[in-house]
Amino acid sequence: MTSEPARVDTDWPALLHDNSRTGGLGIRAAKAPDHVRWHVRMGSSVRSAPVLRSGVLYVTSMAGNLHAIDVEKGRQVWQFQAADHIHSTPSLSGNKVLFGCDSGKVYAVNCDSGKPVWETAAAAEVWTSPVVRNGVVFFGGADARMYAVDVDTGRKRWTQELGGRVYSTAWVGDKHLYLGGGDGKVYCLDVSSGKTVWSTTTGNGIDSSPAVAGDMILIGSEDFFFYALDAETGAVRWKYETGLGISSSPAVWEDLAVVGSKDGFLYAFEVPGGRLRWKMQISDVVTAPPVIASGLICIQAGGTQAFDIATGSVAWRAGLGGAVQSAPVLTGDAIYVASNDGEVYALE
């Protein structure tokens, strides 16, 4: 059994809620929004997902800014300028917000002041979201390397060369971390050394980020298939063919895994055996990851949409939040979405 990272129940500190990648709210429901409480213009596109803690929303933008937004007032608290465009979804650890940028730099910025704490660098752009586990930050870069650095200092612990660019945010457990590579391989690395434990080849590159359900790694590939791999060996337990490539990252809730495909469908699989419970066409193309609240799946595809988790039927749609790779933050009372057009919305 793969060890589960601890859940954080009150905030939304990382891509798809937390490092367990459930992308969910637990038992809290996300009610249908009926109005925009506020919206803030970032001045450039937002390609990443926001994260939230203690009433502050952190958003990165293509202009190279990290914005901290007070969600009560809908006003910016501070802004940090990075060296280049940012596609990386920030993550929160302690009093630091972590993210990568297109120059290859990865920053740790103080959550309260917006001042830099440390920075480190890959040799090419970092689009992945840094993942923090047991005092170590893990991130991959377009230089085909996986990095582990100290969360307090940014000092490198190890670097591991892989076979392709890394645009897949790692899932990190106590002993192993998992990610997909542009070379089409799903990698399992030792968290202490970075050494490859196993790798499994798919039919094309991977930019989907894995989730873990029980002892299975779930991930999509540009070869059109959604894979469930044995976490210990990398053996394919089951796979399912969609109509086009899969960039979307799966979210897992109980025995259900939900993922979008570029064929425009959202798919819900029963994790143990891979049976398709339902699929629903929700747009022309789906590349963003879904998130899950109690009874609902929420995803940005065109606008922001919510579906009944049991049947896939439409619960509600909001014409805001057009996105390629962003994902909403659900609090139960509000939904925060960022969009390609550079707007961040608070929906209630």
Residues that bind other proteins in the complex, under the rule CB under 8 A = 43-45, 47, 62-63, 83-85, 102-103, 124-125, 127, 142-144, 164-165, 167-168, 182, 203-207, 222-224, 243-245, 247, 262, 264, 284-285, 287, 324-325, 340-342
Q: Which is nearer to other proteins, 20 or 160 (CB)?
A: 160
Minimum CB separation of residue 225 from other proteins in Å reads 11
Measured from the CB atom, the residue of 130 and 181 that comes closer to other proteins is 181
Shortest reach from residue 348's CB to other proteins, in Å = 26
Min CB(226)–other proteins separation in Å: 15
From start to end of 215-254, where are the E strands?
A: 216-220, 225-230, 236-241, 251-253
Which letter, b or e, does each residue of 250-283 get, where b requires 16 or more Cβ atoms within 10 Å of its Cβ? bbbbeebbbbbbbbbbbbbbebeebeebbbbebb
Smaller CB distance to other proteins: residue 18 or 143?
143
**DSSP summary character for residue 342:** S
Quote the least distance from Cβ 342 to other proteins, whole Å: 5
Q: Which residues contact 144 (CB under 8 A, 6 or more apart)?
A: 161, 162, 163, 164, 165, 166, 181, 182, 183
Amino acid at 179: L
Least distance between other proteins and beta carbon 260 (Å) = 12
Q: Supply the minimum distance, in Å, between the C-beta of residue 324 and other proteins.
A: 5
Q: Could you count the other beta carbons within 10 Å of the beta carbon of residue 7?
A: 12
322: its two tokens:
């057009």
Q: Which pairing describes strands 56-60 and 291-293: parallel, antiparallel, or unpaired?
A: unpaired
CB neighbourhood size of 9 (10 A): 11
- Give min distance, CB of 140 to other proteins, in A: 11
* Cβ distance to other proteins smaller for residue 189 or 323: 323
Nearer to other proteins, 182 or 210 (CB): 182
Residue 237 structure tokens? 């337990």
Closest residue by Cα to residue 206 from 178, 176, 189, 184: 184
Nearest residue (CB) to other proteins, 76 versus 204: 204
The structure tokens 């939040």 sit at 321
Question: What's the Cα-to-Cα distance from 35 to each of 83, 318, 346, rounded to whole Å?
Answer: 36, 9, 9
Q: Return the number of the residue (93 or 160) whose C-beta is nearest other proteins.
A: 160
End-to-end C-alpha distance for the chain, whole angstroms: 39
